[in-house]
Amino acid sequence: MAKITKLYDTPPYQEQDGGMDDYKKKLFRHRAGRGAKYLIGAVVVLCGFLAYSICSQNKTYMSYETVSTVEHSSTVNTLYTEYNGKLLKYSKDGISCIDSQNEAIWSQTYNMQNPMVDICEGAVAVADQQGNIVYVFDAQGAVTEISTLLPIQQISVSAQGVTAILLNDSTVSWIYIYDKEGNKLAESRCSLDETGQPISIALSPDGTKLAVSYLQVQEGSAASCVVFYNFGSVGSNFVDKIVSSKVYTDTVIPRIRYIGKSICAAISDQEIIYYEGAEIPEEKNTVILDAEIESVFWGDSRVGIVTLGDDTTAENEEEAGRYRVNLYDTSGKQILSRKTDLEYSQVKLSGKYLILYNENECEIYNEKGILKYKGSFDSVIADLYKGNGHNKFVLVFSDRTETIRLQ
């Protein structure tokens, strides 16, 4: 019998399956290897980005380049303040909202001797201090005009355009609340003998609550009483809509302001007092200040205090300086503390940056207290604020506006 030669050690279909398995394994290894390469590459890129970010945050820049220059003209008494990523330009003759190219978005003429401005989100109020006129604007420039009989001492505006006005005459003060159309919503008569003399007012962003600091005299000594009014449904259940109040003996509280929807901060010569409550604000925390206050400034959910420094000879540069700048969040936590010798005329928060400047010099810090730039300029600085883009800032002079990039 002829010998039959065995062509397959295993059935053909098993040979085919085994080959397919090998192919799938090779394909899997190939894809896994390629995926691992992509993953490693992504990790390298991410690490590089993080390293760059950390390096950039900690870097102090020694110079800058001018990205753009726009020429314009301003009077000597023209003032500037930041507003929703733009700039408010105001003087005795009028107010305008301008962009970085000095293009007017809206404007209003008037005649004021001492204009003062208050801003809350998109709402702006400008008033003639010791005068009798207030203009209230929304983000589009729509205007409401309010006239008063008594001299204006202070104003406070809410995000909706509700405006509180503190008026003073020789013996009596009045607080009036107006809606965004200029209709009177509420009024309060104040005197030193009865309620105390109101010295600072602050509307909540939603316009439903008003905080007032009253100066009182108790047993021959100065005292302060902080009072919260609620003009909503909750306040209707309280006498005179006063939902909470507290007296502070031997203390004067000249500044009070909302720094959040339901958080208010009052500044005395001794401490920062925090109040919290959506309807009935109550004292929640205090920060003791152990040095004389030079300046107070506010930012988005921030309180800034400049005090006199106590060490100008420290070996550590960060601990040497005539002034100490402290920054606190809404809970009273200190998030920045830095000393400086700059004889500043303005201190402000712009975005996430702390900026100090005088006529010709400036210092810029990030919120970690790291000095980003220190320098001087040939022209007088009218304003300086954070611009759009990495390391970009906007310098406003009387004759031009420059966008610069730190480098």
**Burial of 292: CB neighbours in 10 Å, binned 0-12, 13-18, 19+:** exposed
Predicted confidence at residue 85, as pLDDT, reads 86
Predicted confidence at residue 51, as pLDDT, reads 44
CA distances, 332 to each of 69, 263, 286, 298 (Å): 40, 11, 7, 13
Distance between CA atoms of residues 83 and 74, nearest Å: 18
Distance between CA atoms of residues 403 and 396, nearest Å: 9
User: How many residues are listed for the chain in this entry?
Assistant: 407
CA distances, 245 to each of 44, 288, 360 (Å): 57, 21, 45
Predicted confidence at residue 366, as pLDDT, reads 96
Predicted confidence at residue 21, as pLDDT, reads 67
Predicted confidence at residue 171, as pLDDT, reads 86
State the alpha helices, DSSP H only, in 238-295: none
Predicted confidence at residue 88, as pLDDT, reads 97
Distance between CA atoms of residues 49 and 206, nearest Å: 40
Predicted confidence at residue 10, as pLDDT, reads 40
Distance between CA atoms of residues 120 and 124, nearest Å: 7
Tens of pLDDT along the chain (407 residues)? 444 344 334 444 444 455 566 666 666 666 666 665 655 655 554 544 444 444 556 899 999 999 999 998 887 789 999 998 899 999 999 999 998 888 999 999 999 999 999 999 999 999 999 999 999 999 999 999 999 999 999 999 999 999 999 999 888 999 999 999 999 999 999 998 899 999 999 999 999 999 999 999 998 999 999 999 999 999 999 999 999 999 999 999 999 999 999 999 999 999 999 999 999 999 999 999 999 999 999 998 999 999 997 655 555 555 679 999 999 999 999 999 999 999 999 999 999 999 999 999 999 999 999 999 999 999 999 999 999 999 999 999 999 999 999 99
Predicted confidence at residue 6, as pLDDT, reads 41
- pTM given for the model: 0.84
Strand locations in 74-196 (E): 79-83, 86-90, 94-98, 104-109, 115-120, 123-128, 133-137, 143-147, 152-157, 163-168, 173-178, 184-190
Predicted confidence at residue 102, as pLDDT, reads 87
Predicted confidence at residue 34, as pLDDT, reads 67
Distance between CA atoms of residues 82 and 67, nearest Å: 20
Q: Is 20 helix (H, G, I), strand (E, B) or coil?
A: helix
Predicted confidence at residue 76, as pLDDT, reads 77
Predicted confidence at residue 48, as pLDDT, reads 47
Predicted confidence at residue 304, as pLDDT, reads 98
CA distances, 231 to each of 62, 104, 214 (Å): 52, 36, 19
* Beta-carbon count within 10 A of 101 CB: 10
Predicted confidence at residue 100, as pLDDT, reads 82
The answer for residues whose C-beta is within 8 angstroms of residue 193's C-beta and 6 or more apart is none
Predicted confidence at residue 170, as pLDDT, reads 83
Q: What's the maximum distance between 2 C-alpha atoms anywhere in the chain?
A: 137
